[in-house]
Amino acid sequence: MIQAFSRTHVMGGLRLLALAAVVAIAMPFAAARAATPAEEFVQTNVQKGLAILNSNGSKEQKRDEFRNFLLKLTDLKRIADYTLGPVKNSTSPADLAAFEDAFREYAFAVYESEFQKYSGQTLKVTGSMQRKADDYLVTTVLIDPNAPKGADPIQVDFRIFGTPGHFTVADIIVLGLDLAITEQDDFSSFLAQNNNSVKALTANLKERAARVRAGGNLSGK
Amino acid sequence: MRGLSKLLFVGMGLLLAGCATDPTGANDPYEHTNRAVFDFDQKLDKYVISPSASAYVAVVPKPARTGVHNFLQNLDLPVTFVNDVLQGEVHRAGDTLGRFTINSTLGVAGLFDPASDFNIPYHKEDFGQTLATWGVGEGPYLVLPFFGPDPPRDAAGQVVDIFFDPTTYISLREHFWYSAGRRYLVVVDLKSRNFDTLQNIERGSVDYYASVRSLYRQLRNNDIRNGQPDVQNLPDL
């Protein structure tokens, strides 16, 4: 479509407008700088993840490989503990461990159901911010070859903890939706209705994981 | 305009009155009623919106659906423009004006989207967001029949936006049906484009009502920040 427009001569004003828009969008990238260690960490692991997704192995092989990859990469215990909010402090170590296990299985059930739909998307690191000595936010944009023209770019931010060489991903924020906050809000409502029973939440999570894996039945109860 | 400013003051008064906080932290003092309305909205979704969206996808070919989507987005732009200006976002106001001009002319009344080829991205602003940038809090969480999550700030914003919309001043004999029809189309368009996402949220939630409440607020706040990450207020993991 754009070639067709540039061939016409009436478009002078519009082209100027478009050029101004392009320059404005390109500006932040013009100031080229070396990637920070946290950015490199995300970029490298995006490549690793894509290599697994695009490999020739069987579906089960790929799934297991991806699972091991995520287990090493992510700190699911950290996010699981956060989602319990203040209830965590009054939970027995055994109940907490059972909950962390159920949370991990639930997270993997969700990842694996998404995994089936993978069709060529990739992530491009756009920047990062350091919040504390060991607390970073790395911003990326999802590049989807199948996205319709003019679709909003999808921003995906990663919360990275640790020091260079020992980084883990503890949270992910998609279009401003923070996984840790969403799960905490979801769980705290459930806990409030169930006498703050982490056991009940653990049982519910197991059920949810099974439902996500089965991919059906939305009855909710 | 005098009527408008009066409405504004009434709206602001309501918002301030509604800013009382509750001890649970969810700021949802009407949760019981809200859940009932949420159930009603879900039934509406199940029996009216979802079947409509399915039929829409089955009957209308994709290029035509894209045209409808573009047309509806273009129709939002005058309201977005006024709110860009009210928020002092000069650059974004320019984007909106450029986009509306290009798509309304070259894009045949907004059916096509040549502006995206010129790298002028779409964004939406409403008066609820403008109020937020002026420091007005969202007030207690509210779910309205037919409208879904709609706390006082955003509901008041929607009323004000009616006055910013030029189509309000086109004298139509059946204006109610125009508004209702447009709203219906917007919802069906939204639903048809987000079937899977919505289903995944429901499937993955322990308490769907609480998840939607959380997601609504996060999405609104993201829109208010124009997509900039909220680095200061990230959770203390």
Sign (positive or negative) of CA dihedral B42, B48, B51, B53: negative
Using the 8-state DSSP alphabet, how is residue A74 labeled?
B
Task: Tell me, yes or no, if A220 comes closer than 8 A to chain B by beta carbon.
Answer: yes
Angstrom distance (rounded) from CA A98 to CA B18: 41
Angstrom distance (rounded) from CA B89 to CA B93: 6
pLDDT of amino acid A21: 52
- A chain contacts of residue B38, beta-carbon cutoff 8 Å: none
Q: Tokens 């929607």 correspond to what residue?
A: B158
Q: Tokens 């006498």 correspond to what residue?
A: A195
pLDDT of amino acid B49: 93
Q: Are strands B143-144 and A135-143 parallel, antiparallel or unpaired?
A: unpaired
pLDDT of amino acid B155: 96
Q: Which two tokens stand for residue B28?
A: 């949802």
Q: Are strands A122-132 and A154-161 parallel, antiparallel or unpaired?
A: unpaired
- A chain contacts of residue B200, beta-carbon cutoff 8 Å: 110, 113
pLDDT of amino acid B17: 43
Which residues of chain A fall below pLDDT 50? 1-16, 23, 25-31, 217-221
pLDDT of amino acid A33: 59
Phi, psi of A126 (to 5 degrees): -110, -15
CB contact under 8 A, B66 and A148: yes
Q: Give tens-digit pLDDT for B4-54.
A: 444 444 444 444 444 444 445 789 999 999 999 999 999 999 999 999 999
Nearest alpha carbon to residue B69 among B118, B117, B122: B122
CB contact under 8 A, B237 and A201: no
Q: Give tens-digit pLDDT for A23-81.
A: 454 444 444 557 899 999 999 998 898 888 888 888 888 888 988 999 999 999 999 99
In this complex, which of B116, B214, B225 lies closest to A149 when CB atoms are compared? B116
Q: Which amino acid is at B195?
A: F
- Other CB atoms within a 10 A radius of the CB of residue A113 amount to 16
Q: Answer whether A194's CB lies under 8 Å from A200's CB.
A: yes
Interface pTM, i.e. ipTM: 0.81
Task: Tell me, yes or no, if A137 comes closer than 8 A to chain B by beta carbon.
Answer: yes
Angstrom distance (rounded) from CA B88 to CA B83: 9
Angstrom distance (rounded) from CA B182 to CA B160: 17
Phi-psi region of A130 (alpha: psi -120 to 50; beta: other; left: phi over 0): beta
Q: Answer whether A188's CB lies under 8 Å from A85's CB.
A: yes
Higher pLDDT, B199 or A30: B199
CB contact under 8 A, B26 and A155: no
> What average pLDDT score do residues B219-230 get?
91
Provide DSSP, A162-179: S-TTS-EEEEEEETTEEH
| Nearest chain B residue to A192, by CA | B24
pTM attached to this predicted model = 0.81
| Nearest chain B residue to A84, by CA | B237
Nearest alpha carbon to residue A215 among A110, A144, A136, A69: A110
- B chain contacts of residue A131, beta-carbon cutoff 8 Å: 231, 234
Q: Which two tokens stand for residue B146?
A: 């037919």
Q: Answer whether B81's CB lies under 8 Å from B104's CB.
A: no
pLDDT of amino acid A216: 52
How far, in Å, are B46, B63, B200, B209 from residue B53 at the CA level?
10, 16, 17, 22
Q: Which two tokens stand for residue A66?
A: 């991806």
Give the pLDDT band (50/70/90) at residue B77.
very high
Q: Answer whether B157's CB lies under 8 Å from B129's CB.
A: yes
- A chain contacts of residue B24, beta-carbon cutoff 8 Å: 192
- B chain contacts of residue A209, beta-carbon cutoff 8 Å: none
Using the 8-state DSSP alphabet, how is residue B13 labeled?
H
Q: Chain B: give the shortest CA distance to residue A176, in Å.
A: 5
Q: Is B210 helix (H, G, I), strand (E, B) or coil?
A: helix
Using the 8-state DSSP alphabet, how is residue A133 labeled?
T
- A chain contacts of residue B66, beta-carbon cutoff 8 Å: 148
Task: Tell me, yes or no, if B121 comes closer than 8 A to chain A by beta carbon.
Answer: yes
Nearest alpha carbon to residue B52 among B185, B207, B155: B185
pLDDT of amino acid A7: 35
In this complex, which of B66, B115, B229 lies closest to A139 when CB atoms are compared? B229
Q: Is B196 helix (H, G, I), strand (E, B) or coil?
A: helix
Q: Tokens 């962390």 correspond to what residue?
A: A100
CB contact under 8 A, A220 and B208: yes
Angstrom distance (rounded) from CA A75 to CA A78: 6
Task: Tell me, yes or no, if A139 comes closer than 8 A to chain B by beta carbon.
Answer: yes
Higher pLDDT, B175 or B145: B145
